Structure 1
Amino acid sequence: MIELSKEEYANVLPLLKNLAYEPVFAYSVIDQNQSGKVFVDSSVNPTCSLIINSYGQYFLARSGDNERFMNDVVGFLLNDQNHSNYYDLYASTPELLFQISERLAGKTVLLHRSSFTFDLSKFQHLKTLNALPEQFVLERMDDTLFDKYKNEMDSSYDSLWSSAQQFMDRGFGYCVLKDDHFASICNSFFVGRGYADLDIVTVEEYRNQGLASLTGTAFIKHCLNHNLVPNYNCDAGNQRSIQLATKLGFVKNNNYPMLWWHQDQSIISDYLQRFNYSNHSIE
């Protein structure tokens, strides 16, 4: 595989046309909003590419056959030293993903994601949201809140955004606080090619109060004010997330497959059980 320089990242964009969903995590690398690497079979007119970001999400695209490149991809994926502790592998077509799956020596599980399309008219006609409860405040994420969120809620944001300043420059988010503690948060997971992925988290004790809708709505309004298209996807079995997407004005587009590897088998088993996957074995 050939690793492109950052100045060459856009050379792979023709391989990302007419996809069934928007791989914003790959766009974020190409646009250099978030860190990653781009591998190809040819620097100038690539027919195959593997785009990886520092968070562990990989995208494989191909417009022609190149057995040598595919062998290199399989070798890369089979080497645990190339990954932190997990990876998600997506592909430009289901057929390509299944071809790779057959060559991964039983190391991955097959998952299904649901993608959504944002419908502005549905968002504009949403039912009136619940008022913010007393003692709760809605704020835009700043550098202090970002560091607080990363330290208290999700340390993986270290891999998503290299610093609070990078998040402020390239990303954004909104949160509901109570007594200076997070209740619900909607951050930009990835930003690229004019799209922004939503990452919504609500602390368990504050669920079922409409807080996720409030932070999600603030996020979407920010997108609309900054010429960004909000983008939503989730596990196909996550009914709570699907309901929230619908409530925020998204329309389900389709389901698509992905492969997941994690070094901790118990995490895989718990996830498969949580989202009702009937086959709990490694594919």
Structure 2
Amino acid sequence: MIYKANDDVRKSLVPMFENIDSTIVQSYLQGHMGTAYVDDLKNPTVAQVVVGIFVFYAGNPDTEAAEEMLNNLPDYNLVIVGSDDWKRRIESARRNGVEKFPRYSLEKNPAHLDRNHIQSILATLPDGYEVKKVDKEIADKASFDELSEDFVSQFESVDDFLERGKGYAVLFEGKVVSAATSFSIFDEGIEIEIATDPDYRRKGLAAVTASALILDCLDNGLYPSWDAANAESLQLAEKLGYVFKETYDTYFIDTGK
């Protein structure tokens, strides 16, 4: 049987997830957002943490509770684990509807982010476009939500996002064509979510909007963490100054299969 974790259980899960280098799982472990499920509320041996589409597993994969957790996943999720035993468990338990692909981890070192360099990228905004900090008016625009539903979805509301999160958008004739926001937050900073309208790509807009968000974070003593979902995201991160750390396995699981 599995149980939804309370705050006391949450604090006890920190050592269990120490092998997973993700600020997204930290956002749950530090009490900012997300939920978790465990096999025992007093002495958990296996745990599932869910933050948006990201699901993290830790503990003993060879238990009935682990099997139950793996068979009761949210729809369309990305699963990240910290051991080969968990990888084998996922691949054996979910033979259908599982796709393994690489993501790219970057060093979390603020010294790599040179303000002058990032400011120079921000200055490359093409004529006719403008960069604005995300406020309620921008957050309520259909063009903002259409770019990525994950810009604010981990927060309780738009107002909660505006209070606890951060975001910048590039607008063209009043339409949001690129934006970068805090997908999630943790004690020391944010995890960046970024998207650009396909009709406005190859103009450097993603780099500009990311630059605005990164500079805001640095100015406020926060670290703008970047985890690259693909090679294009990695290339953009490196252009901004981030340094590649390692590739790691991620599982996309379609629960309908």
Matching residue of 1:33: 32
Structure 1 counterpart SS, 2:140: helix
CA distance in 2, matches of 1:76, 1:121: 39
2:204 corresponds to which of 210, 214, 226: 210
Matching residue of 2:174: 180
CA contact (8 A) 2:169 2:177 kept: yes
Q: TM-score, normalised by structure 2?
A: 0.86
Structure 2: runs of 5 or more not aligned: none
* Identical positions, percent: 23
Q: CA deviation at 1:14?
A: 1.4
Q: CA deviation at 1:244?
A: 0.3
Structure 1 counterpart of 2:246, one-letter code: N
1:145 aligns with 2:143: no
1:250 aligns with 2:242: yes
Q: CA deviation at 1:187?
A: 0.9
| Aligned residue-pair number | 252
CA distance in 2, matches of 1:240, 1:3: 37
The structure-2 alpha-carbon separation of the partners of 1:198 and 1:46, relative to structure 1 and needing over 3 Å to count, comes to same
CA contact (8 A) 1:126 1:247 kept: no
CA contact (8 A) 1:150 1:156 kept: no
1:105 aligns with 2:95: yes
CA RMSD of the aligned region, Å?
2.5
The structure-2 alpha-carbon separation of the partners of 1:263 and 1:2, relative to structure 1 and needing over 3 Å to count, comes to closer
Structure 1 counterpart of 2:87, one-letter code: L
The structure-2 alpha-carbon separation of the partners of 1:261 and 1:162, relative to structure 1 and needing over 3 Å to count, comes to same
CA distance in 2, matches of 1:162, 1:221: 25
The structure-2 alpha-carbon separation of the partners of 1:170 and 1:98, relative to structure 1 and needing over 3 Å to count, comes to farther
CA distance in 2, matches of 1:184, 1:40: 38
Matching residue of 1:131: 124
Q: CA deviation at 1:66?
A: 6.8
1:57 corresponds to which of 46, 54, 58: 54
The structure-2 alpha-carbon separation of the partners of 1:28 and 1:246, relative to structure 1 and needing over 3 Å to count, comes to same
Residues 1-283 of structure 1: pairs in structure 2 closer than 5 A? 1-19=2-20, 21-22=21-22, 24-34=23-33, 36-53=34-51, 55-62=52-59, 65=60, 67-68=62-63, 71-79=64-72, 82-83=73-74, 85-124=75-114, 126=117, 128-129=120-121, 130-148=123-141, 149=143, 151-157=145-151, 159-235=153-229, 238-262=230-254
CA distance in 2, matches of 1:174, 1:7: 35
Structure 1: runs of 5 or more not aligned: 266-283
- Deviation per CA, 1:95-116: give whole Å up to 9, x if none: 3222222122333111211111
Structure 2 counterpart SS, 1:160: coil
CA distance in 2, matches of 1:257, 1:151: 29
The structure-2 alpha-carbon separation of the partners of 1:159 and 1:200, relative to structure 1 and needing over 3 Å to count, comes to closer
CA contact (8 A) 1:38 1:52 kept: yes
CA distance in 2, matches of 1:163, 1:150: 15
Q: TM-score, normalised by structure 1?
A: 0.79
CA contact (8 A) 2:151 2:182 kept: no
CA distance in 2, matches of 1:174, 1:158: 12
Q: CA deviation at 1:72?
A: 2.1
CA distance in 1, matches of 2:137, 2:32: 20
Structure 2 counterpart SS, 1:29: helix
Structure 2 counterpart SS, 1:126: helix
